[in-house]
Chains A and B, each alone.
Chain A
């Protein structure tokens, strides 16, 4: 069995094709993970050869959407890293509460589980009515799932546990109605969320925010692209705004670190101190 049939050079060729033909730029993604996923897709879609794989990508616009969706990671869960949500609740929300209107950008939101988690926090802090959350992702298909606000019912036990570990006091099941295999989250949570496509690599800033959440997205980028995206975030934030990253991501050793100060807990939340 040939295990990684597509070489790193061939992966680079495909990524160039996708960039030139369709404008999706994966050329500055960290290679190891993307090589693995390009090879995985080649196997599960049973292409007989690299040439046919490449031909399909070049000639089939529909297939490219699948390609983009499969080579990017869309694994997520509600209240992922409960301590992080607990820190948002106790350290960030009290500051946001002082604003007349709260603008949040959740970049790379995937299917929206973490966006709904944050909407629940806002609801419980009685801030949801004066908030708007822009939830963006490169994949239109996952955004469609987010818009529906329907997640697998089988996950709810785990999510409920995460919610309680994050300091949630309510009955978690009061936030959704069970519908066959899915939990449909309450309309009022989704009403304040705007799901919209945005490509962090090629699209610019579109507003000024008091909080930007971008978790487990930067780990897939190379250093140069990390710096570029962090600059975009920095330029899209008000002074004293918050930037929240994934549990293994950091602003240390990046070009924007001088503008930010990390909050005094273990969680990956920074505050923009200088414009």
Chain B
């Protein structure tokens, strides 16, 4: 699938000062379930602050831990971490957390949508939903990384990302707290690279052209 580079494109962001900011030319989506949080915590400190990509994190969890998660992740990186809001534009160097109990989708105009429809793979947010909706938008400029988990969520979405020309990466099952999700993904999808948690940040930095 053909995708255009949109690095030069500008948009008015959802900010009272209406600052002009650059729409993210690339997108990294990280999906995790049981045990996924640990990998995220270990990779965040090493992400480059000059990241030329937006990052979306879709993590299965109980809705009760909502605000805590954004705060927790904020302590691990200098990049801004925020809960994704509907209609906001994806910006480079910003880490967006899919809110608990909503699916997070990427629109063709590089903005975000929330959706409270049926759970997918017993999950909301579902990793598949975000992977699959972002795939045609970002095409070859997308990296999807699937982490530890006890669920089958993510594998189908990885195939969509692959078919749209994106790069698909999976946590090394041997390093995963719960290896079912990454194993399943490796069986089903033509995974480009298998990463240990300590390798993830460097891989992401490399992908995002730092």
Return chain B residues, CB-CB under 8 Å to A216.
116
| A36 contacts B105, C-beta separation under 8 Å | yes
In A1-24, which residues have CB < 8 Å from any B CB?
3-4, 8
| B113 contacts A33, C-beta separation under 8 Å | yes
B172 within 8 A of A: no
| B87 contacts A223, C-beta separation under 8 Å | yes
In B113-131, which residues have CB < 8 Å from any A CB?
113-118, 129
Q: How far is the CA of A36 from the CA of B14 in the complex (A)?
A: 25
| A248 contacts B14, C-beta separation under 8 Å | no
Interface residues on A, range: 20 to 34
7 contacts between A and B (CB under 8 A): A8-B136, A30-B113, A32-B108, A33-B113, A73-B115, A216-B116, A219-B114
Indicate with 1 or 0, residue by residue over B128-152, a CB within 8 angstroms of chain A CB atoms. 0100110010000000000000000
Residue of B14, B85, B107, B116 near A32 (CB, 8 A) is B107
Return chain A residues, CB-CB under 8 Å to B129.
36
| B156 contacts A32, C-beta separation under 8 Å | no
| A73 contacts B159, C-beta separation under 8 Å | no
- Tell me how far the C-beta of B101 lies from the nearest C-beta in chain A, rounded to whole angstroms: 8
B102 within 8 A of A: yes
A-B contacts counted at CB < 8 A amount to 59
| B14 contacts A3, C-beta separation under 8 Å | no
A75 within 8 A of B: yes
Return chain B residues, CB-CB under 8 Å to A250.
85
Return chain B residues, CB-CB under 8 Å to A220.
115
Which 3 interchain pairs have the tightest Cβ spacing? A32-B105, A73-B117, A33-B115
| B99 contacts A33, C-beta separation under 8 Å | no
B106 within 8 A of A: yes
Return chain B residues, CB-CB under 8 Å to A4.
132, 136, 160
| B116 contacts A73, C-beta separation under 8 Å | yes
Return chain A residues, CB-CB under 8 Å to B156.
3
| B99 contacts A248, C-beta separation under 8 Å | yes
**Beyond A36-B105, A248-B102, is A3–B87 a contact (Cβ under 8 Å)?**
no
B86 within 8 A of A: yes
| B105 contacts A3, C-beta separation under 8 Å | no
Return chain A residues, CB-CB under 8 Å to B86.
30, 219, 248-249
Q: How far is the CA of A121 from the CA of B94 in the complex (A)?
A: 41
Q: For B105, give the chain A residue with the smallest CB separation.
A: A32
B163 within 8 A of A: yes
From A8, A250, A253, name the one whose CB has the most chain B CB atoms within 10 angstroms.
A253
Q: How many residues of B contact A (CB 8 A)?
A: 25
A168 within 8 A of B: no
| A219 contacts B105, C-beta separation under 8 Å | no
A31 within 8 A of B: yes
Q: How far is the CA of A36 from the CA of B128 in the complex (A)?
A: 12
- Tell me how far the C-beta of A251 lies from the nearest C-beta in chain B, rounded to whole angstroms: 13
Return chain B residues, CB-CB under 8 Å to A192.
none
Return chain A residues, CB-CB under 8 Å to B159.
3
Q: For B119, give the chain A residue with the smallest CB separation.
A: A75
A89 within 8 A of B: no
In A65-123, which residues have CB < 8 Å from any B CB?
73, 75
Q: How far is the CA of A250 from the CA of B88 in the complex (A)?
A: 12
Return chain A residues, CB-CB under 8 Å to B102.
219, 248
Indicate with 1 or 0, residue by residue over B12-31, a CB within 8 angstroms of chain A CB atoms. 00100000000000000000
Q: For B133, give the chain A residue with the smallest CB separation.
A: A32
From A30, A31, A220, A223, name the one whose CB has the most chain B CB atoms within 10 angstroms.
A30
Q: For B83, give the chain A residue with the smallest CB separation.
A: A248
Q: For B157, give the chain A residue with the smallest CB separation.
A: A3
A37 within 8 A of B: yes
- Tell me how far the C-beta of A77 lies from the nearest C-beta in chain B, rounded to whole angstroms: 10
Q: How far is the CA of A37 from the CA of B105 in the complex (A)?
A: 12
Return chain A residues, CB-CB under 8 Å to B118.
75
Indicate with 1 or 0, residue by residue over A121-146, a CB within 8 angstroms of chain B CB atoms. 00000000000000000000000000
| B115 contacts A8, C-beta separation under 8 Å | no
- Tell me how far the C-beta of A54 lies from the nearest C-beta in chain B, rounded to whole angstroms: 21
Indicate with 1 or 0, residue by residue over B84-106, a CB within 8 angstroms of chain A CB atoms. 01110000000000010011011
| A3 contacts B115, C-beta separation under 8 Å | no
- Tell me how far the C-beta of B4 lies from the nearest C-beta in chain A, rounded to whole angstroms: 15
Return chain A residues, CB-CB under 8 Å to B163.
3
Q: How far is the CA of A8 from the CA of B113 in the complex (A)?
A: 16
Q: For A35, give the chain B residue with the smallest CB separation.
A: B133
